[in-house]
Chains A and B, each alone.
Chain A
């Protein structure tokens, strides 16, 4: 079966760095997405990786290793507004998105 694994919850300190991991087993691979979802709101797009390596976008970076079925989202200089759930999703060979359950990130002052 297809599976996306990410930690349920993480806690970090304001100003620090946090890495959220995502491992996947899917039938085929056509890209990996990270979305941010604040409580009670809709998910919003953060990043897209289709080739191995690191994609940097401001304070956020996303890494992909297709051979290992692994990605991480790196958040630097954490701010209180970064408290949210972070969703990992993989597009499979049928171009359907398979979603992880999300990682709830709690930022403490």
Chain B
């Protein structure tokens, strides 16, 4: 089934640890995104990639990094996790002219 796969689904992490959230899509979409979703706030863009080999900063990039070595994979890394990074993280992709986003199921991250 075509779509976006995120891993892990849920993770509890000690502050200061490094963590990578994985995202893989099989729709051959050029654009990919990482959002975080917190209660009472809209989705906030962390980083994006318009095509393989390029990345850009979104609204809340500090403390996060991404890479886009190929079309399918777009991992998000927290170099040294802090409690304020506790959130639900969604990976998304878009491929057609409307820019409709297709989302992964989300990764719930708790930093203690």
List residues of A whose CB falls within 8 A of some B CB: 4, 31, 33, 35, 41-45, 48, 87, 89, 91, 95-102
Contact = CB atoms under 8 A, between A and B. Distances in A.
B79 interface: no
B100 A45 contact: yes
B19 interface: no
A45 B102 CA distance: 8
A31 B101 CA distance: 13
Interface stretch (B21-29, B39-47, B60-68, B69-77): B39-47
B42 A42 contact: no
Given A87-B43, A99-B44, 8 more contacts: A31-B99, A42-B106, A91-B99, A96-B45, A96-B58, A97-B101, A98-B42, A99-B43
A42 B98 contact: no
CB-CB nearest 10 A-B residue pairs: A99-B42, A42-B103, A99-B43, A101-B42, A45-B100, A48-B98, A100-B42, A43-B103, A42-B105, A42-B106
Q: Say whether chain B's binding surface is mostly helix, strand, loop, or mixed.
A: loop
Contacts of B42: 4, 87, 89, 98-102
Contacts of A95: 99
